[in-house]
Amino acid sequence: MKIDGKAWRTIWLEPDGRSIGVIDQIQLPHQFTTRTLRSCEEAAEAIRTMVVRGAPLIGVTGAYGLMLALQADPSDAALAAAFEQLNATRPTAVNLRWALERVRDRVAPLPPAERAEAARTEAAAIADEDVAMCEAIGEHGLAIFQQLAAARPAERQGQPFNVLTHCNAGWLATVDWGTALAPIYKAHRAGLNIHVWVDETRPRNQGASLTAYELGREGVPHTVIVDNAGGHLMQHGQVDAVIVGTDRTTRRGDVCNKIGTYLKALAAHDNNVPFYVALPASTIDWTIDDGVAEIPIEARSAREVTHIQGRVDGGPAAGQLATVQLTPDGSEGFNPAFDVTPARLVTALITERGVAPASEDGLRNLYA
Ligand code: MRU
């Protein structure tokens, strides 16, 4: 996607061929800066602190993290330690484990001297495949949006097609395009009169900061709303569809996504609003069935609840990023980062291979 006319991916191999460049997402939307990752430790730290985030992107960062580790020490012991270090950074998105296993399984049989180069090739392939998968998700989602828009009653045909999304499942969460936002970009480019309701997505506000930033750069009309507004908008016919991403999808089609997604699915169900989940194959965990019982939910720092980051808009510190405390001294916070939406609340899964019911048969028909 383009920022000020320049095409960017979220992660890239630097010209030295040994270090990795990433967009620093902690500084967005107020400052666009990049960082260079030179070691496995730096890659792990970037994932843990959410300099990079979003399920597909942390998978690719993990893959390059193994490359960085193997450049320093290509031994079996170093490979195993780096795998564990990176895999422990964030527990919910299965893309991380998937990408780490893919690189490890590719390089482990090789002589140590060949491992770093092979990891570089494999990580680059994962990144390129992610871009292709996300663009294909965009095409399949576009067809759904076009059908839904055309099926609206005659008096609503001239109005914007309103889509609600939660968190950031855009190009910043992937390598390019995004998952849930890819159909939105495709629709906008195809000339559909689309408007996006952007859930702010407390506590880290990925919607208000990242999704709004992306949509703005692409010129997609959008409005940021507080997380609690979606149900009200649905009751008043102001949402034509909901589309979100997922960090882990079970084989029966339960989806685990940013905290608050489940409440949106319940409201959509109650108001007959279609609820779509967009995902690449790397998000499917074929080893588990019941998402509520089996998916590990990351508990992040309570400080993300009790404090909030923003840009100071006046006074001597105007323009600087600052963190302020929201809660009284002494109040505790609790911060589960994800929740699970059961398959029964999902209208359909939109994958790179096409659209499927959220069920084991639906997924197996696509991926058998
Ligand atoms: O905690 P984050 O910002 O990494 O959470 C990201 C999400 O929940 C996304 O919706 C999910 O990774 C799907 S992204 C394509």
Q: Kindly give the distance from the C-alpha atom of residue 259 to the centroid of ligand 1, in angstroms, as a whole number.
A: 10
Candidate of 198, 247, 264 to mutate for ligand 1, largest count of ligand atoms within 8 Å of Cβ: 247
What distance in angstroms lies between residue 169's CA and the mean position of ligand 1's atoms? 6
H/E segment holding residue 76? helix 76-87
166 neighbors 54 (Cβ within 8 angstroms): no
H or E element, residue 95: helix 94-107
Active-site residues, by number, are 247
| Contact criterion met (CB below 8 Å) for 144 and 354 | no
Name the residue at shortest CA distance from atom 14 of ligand 1. 169
Using CB distances shorter than 6 Å, the residues near ligand 1 are 53-56, 93, 167, 169, 173-174, 179, 206, 245-247, 257-258, 337
- The correct answer on CATH 1.20.120.420 for the domain covering 2-128 is yes
CATH 3.40.50.10470 in the chain, residue ranges: 139-367
Hey, which of 10, 24, 53 would you mutate to test ligand 1's pocket, going by the most ligand atoms within 8 Å of its Cβ? 53
Q: Please, which residues have CB within 8 angstroms of residue 243's CB and are 6 or more apart in sequence?
A: 141, 163, 164, 165, 180, 183, 184, 276, 277, 278, 350
Secondary structure class of 243 (helix, strand, coil): strand
Nearest-atom index, ligand 1, CA of 53: 4
- Please give the distance, rounded to the nearest whole angstrom, from the Cα atom of residue 206 to the centre of ligand 1: 9
C-alpha to C-alpha distance for 308 and 38, rounded to whole angstroms: 30
Query: What element of type H or E holds 27?
Result: none
Q: pTM here?
A: 0.97
Closest residue to atom 5 of ligand 1, CA basis: 54
Look at the alpha carbons of 88, 91, 96, 101 in this order and tell me if their dihedral is positive or negative. Answer: positive
SS (H, E, C) 137-188: HHHHHHHHHHHHHHCCCHHHCCCCEEEEECCCCEHHHCCCCECCHHHHHHHH
Predicted local distance difference test score (pLDDT) of residue 3: 87
**Helices 112-150 & 181-189, crossing angle to 10 degrees?**
60
Distance 76 CA to ligand 1 centre (A): 32
Which helix (H) or strand (E) covers residue 275, if one does? Answer: strand 275-278
Instruction: Tell me the average confidence (pLDDT) per consecutive run of 10 residues in the chain, 368 residues long.
Output: 90 98 97 97 98 98 98 98 98 98 98 98 98 98 98 95 98 98 98 98 98 97 98 98 98 98 98 98 97 98 97 94 96 98 98 98 96
Q: How far is CA 318 from the centre of its chain?
A: 31
- The predicted pLDDT at position 291 comes to 98
User: 150 C-alpha to center of ligand 1: Å?
Assistant: 30
CA 24 / ligand 1 centre spacing (Å): 16
Query: Where do the CATH 1.20.120.420 domains begin and end in the chain?
Result: 2-128
> Which ligand 1 atom minimizes the distance to the CA of 178?
15
**Residue to mutate, 50, 168, 177, ligand 1, most ligand atoms under 8 Å from C-beta:** 168
Class level of CATH domain 139-367:
alpha beta
